[in-house]
Structure 1
Amino acid sequence: MAKRPYIVGNWKMHGTRSMLAEARAIDRAAERLMKVEVALAPPATLIHATRKEADLIGVGAQDCHAAEGGAYTGDISAAMTKDAGAGFVILGHSERRTYHQETDADVQAKAASALAAGLNVIICIGETEAQREAGEAEKIVAAQLAGSLPQTPDAGDRITVAYEPVWAIGTGKTPTVDDVNAMHKAIRETLHSVYGDAASEIRILYGGSVNAQNAAELLAGPEVGGALVGGASLSAESFVGIVVAAADGAE
């Protein structure tokens, strides 16, 4: 049986307790739209509160440290993230790779730690505009993915992949539907090379300037299993519009 579309909101470094009203509204909407799996990744300061306020949707984190514990001031381990109420963690987002110089090996280590702590993982990959213009997008993304995937046995059923072209994140630009479909097909082939038949069950999300207006078209691809949503997830109204588009496409 095919998995439900997975729509995940990444709040990034936005949100104080006043934002819990948006989480509650999203949770209420998700109860009416059961054909879609909905989740939010608030900042770490709101994971516990969001889990208490939102009963139906998934709640996750935006990062974790690879180590189980130690002298890492300001960092949060996977076990701590799980203890706070998270069920999953986003890893390898381009903003982490760029601003914190995270490598594929760093992402792989974090993913292994998260899985060991009982978290599911969403692994982000994506090319820059220069890499796409040079005709290297699929090669770059395939290599990123292969280097970031955990080698943990039977990890496939707890992994989601999010393709987010770096040049589309927060810019209002989106790739063509054909480009998205071609990239997701290439990602699927890489997943099969690592996990074999189990790769067929791994959802591949699209992320990058997704909104209620373009969601239906972007989600219609045969290998597009949902969306990782940034700015549009900060408002229940705009985020739920994307969830509705996913639900309509799942009918």
Structure 2
Amino acid sequence: MSESAIRELLTRAVEPGPPPGVPLPVDDVLARNGRRLFRRRVGRAGAAVVVLLAAGLVTLLPGRSPSALPTPPAATPPATSATPVGDYRARAATALRLLTVAVPRGYTLPERDEVSLGEGASYALRETTWREPGRPAKELYSALLEVQFDGRAAVLTVRVSDLRGAANPLAAADPCEGAFDPDGQERECRMWSAGNGTPVRIAGWKVITGPVRQAVRVSGDTLVMVEQAGRPRPGVYALGRQVLSDQRLADLAADPELLP
């Protein structure tokens, strides 16, 4: 299949189409890509514990039951934290909880942690990763959550990184420099104030899978990024709308519970 044909198929994934569950033309393309993207995860699960240790990251699928994940109302995360400083596994779990309670009414949360793509490959719907203490990795922890609306999917992500040895992007003369995906269109960026007064950079752009919105804040040597984006996968179109408002993104990025 030519590159132009693949692009046409991916474009269809974000255009109005049949309801969820109907086989899509893009399935074969995305399934092949998904197998390549997630075969590494399957390999780690089978025999690559050494790779995990070398990377300093551990992956956890929380394993919540469907009954534990009703569609919640929007809620304001607590302003204080009881998580021990430096406990990245607990921080990742906290980030997943904050993402979950931030999802507005009307959206559907995943009933399981992953969906199978066949041939031993899988696609994460809800996931946390974290760096083990003492391991050299810039990313301290992350959390990922897929949400759906009318059968279309978006992904919410939190990533917290160690900024030591790197420049503070928000301290640059132009804090929006380098904020965008190089292939992104309709770019926009501005500084925003979170509800607690923390300065946060809000950037947005559009790619073939739909709009991307990203909030970034820096506290000392820690960079916190909260992002939302459309997410097509086999049998599911990308959601072409924002799930969280810019203010909600900024408030999440500025939440002190996310700091290590």
Pairwise TM-score range, normalised by the shorter structure: under 0.3
| Higher Cα Rg, which structure | 2
Q: Name the structure where strand makes up a greater proportion of residues.
A: 2
Give the TM-score normalised by the residue count of structure 2.
0.25
Q: Name the structure where helix makes up a greater proportion of residues.
A: 1
